[in-house]
Chain A
Amino acid sequence: MKFSDFVCNAAIRPELKAQSKDEVVREIAGALAEAGEVAEEELDSIVKAIMKREELGSTGIGRGVAVPHTKHPSVNQLVGTVGVSHEGLDFKSLDGEKVQLFFLLISPPDRPGDHLRALENISRQLRDDTFCRFLKQAKSVSDITQLLEEADNNQFSS
């Protein structure tokens, strides 16, 4: 699976303003609602579901990256987006480090395979230091879309 299969470009946020875990989840999920990828009236329910998942264990997987996610019945296919916090924020990551890169994933309840393939793609690309560093330095939506496109074309990683 490629980034272009699930990342909604209109919901990409290169300059996240949030300072806390709660705020950042709402900001990124809100971006998907603004882009029309999830229904505005479902936003509260989606944010709540994502935070409930975070309570089980942070999705901050290390390297300054978090993959907050949930299943939600209001989506028909996997939708996702990318947000960058240049300062980074405390996401209770497994390695205790601040998180700068957020990949949000919302999937239909009956499609665990798609979620796994998105996770596989994200983690494979993030193992590449260059990709990871450039993404953290991205200042605009086009910086990010270009990096994702290059990653989709196998210009990073193995």
Chain B
Amino acid sequence: MSKMIANRRVTINNPQGLHLRPGELFVRLAAQFESQIEVISGDRRVDGKSLIDLCTLGATQGMELEIEASGPDAEAALEALAELIQKASVDDMLAEQ
């Protein structure tokens, strides 16, 4: 199977920022995909399947991040993760699942 790489820019809409709870939901969703997931903020690039890594971004509301997925299910992963991370609250995130 060919290796797909897909990128998408997203904005953090949660007033609380990307704190542990939304971070955990993101990591759990990312883990469901085979693709490697990376999250990029400026010149920093971290593992989107690691909660500690994600926390190092300190992403506050309004911050723009780039999600990069590479692997056979890259597009599907990107679609799901971008939708999740842009939710305004953890409750909204959970409602989708």
Residues of A within 8 A of B (CB): 56-57, 59, 61-63, 65, 67, 69, 94, 112-113, 115-117, 119-120, 122-124, 126-127
Contact of B24 with A119 in the complex, beta carbons under 8 Å: no
> Which listed residue (B19, B52, B53) contacts A116, Cβ 8 A?
B19
Q: B1-9, B56-64, B65-73, B77-85: which one contacts chain A? A: B56-64
Tell whether, in the assembled complex, residue A116 and residue B24 are in contact, meaning their CB atoms are under 8 Å apart: no
Query: A127 touching B51 by the CB < 8 A rule?
Result: no
Nearest residue, chain B, Cβ from A118: B58
**22 CB < 8 A contacts A-B:** A57-B20, A59-B20, A63-B52, A65-B52, A69-B20, A94-B24, A112-B19, A115-B19, A116-B16, A116-B19, A117-B58, A119-B19, A119-B55, A120-B58, A122-B55, A123-B53, A123-B56, A124-B56, A126-B52, A127-B52, A127-B53, A127-B56
Bound complex: CA of A62 vs CA of B18, how far in Å?
Answer: 17
A67 and B15 contacting across the interface, CB-CB below 8 Å: no
Are A116 and B60 interface neighbours, CB within 8 A?
Answer: yes
Smallest CB separation, A101 vs chain B (Å): 12
In the complex, what's the smallest C-beta–C-beta distance from A53 to chain B, in angstroms? 9
State the CA gap A67–B21 with chains docked (Å): 12
A155 CB to nearest B CB, Å: 17
Chain B nearest CB from A111 CB (Å) reads: 10
Interface size class of B (residues with CB under 8 A): 10 to 19
Residue interface bits B20-58, CB-to-A below 8 A is 1, else 0 = 110010010000000000000000000000111101111
Complex-state Cα separation, A124 to B58, whole angstroms: 10
Chain A contacts of B53 at CB under 8 A? Answer: 123, 127
- Residue of B21, B27, B58, B60 most packed against chain A (CB within 10 A): B58
Q: Known: A62-B52, A126-B52. Is A56-B21 also a contact (CB below 8 A)? A: yes
**Residue on B with the closest CB to A132?**
B52
- A112 nearest in chain B by CB position: B16
A126 and B56 alpha carbons, distance in the complex (Å): 10
Q: Is there an interface contact between A62 and B20, defined as CB atoms closer than 8 Å?
A: no
Q: In the complex, A65 Cα to B53 Cα: how many Å?
A: 13
Which of A56, A94, A113, A120 is the one whose CB lies under 8 Å from B55?
A: A120
CB of B57 within 8 A of CB of A61, answer: no
Contact, CB under 8 Å: B17 / A116: yes
Q: How far is the CA of A55 from the CA of B26 in the complex (A)?
A: 18
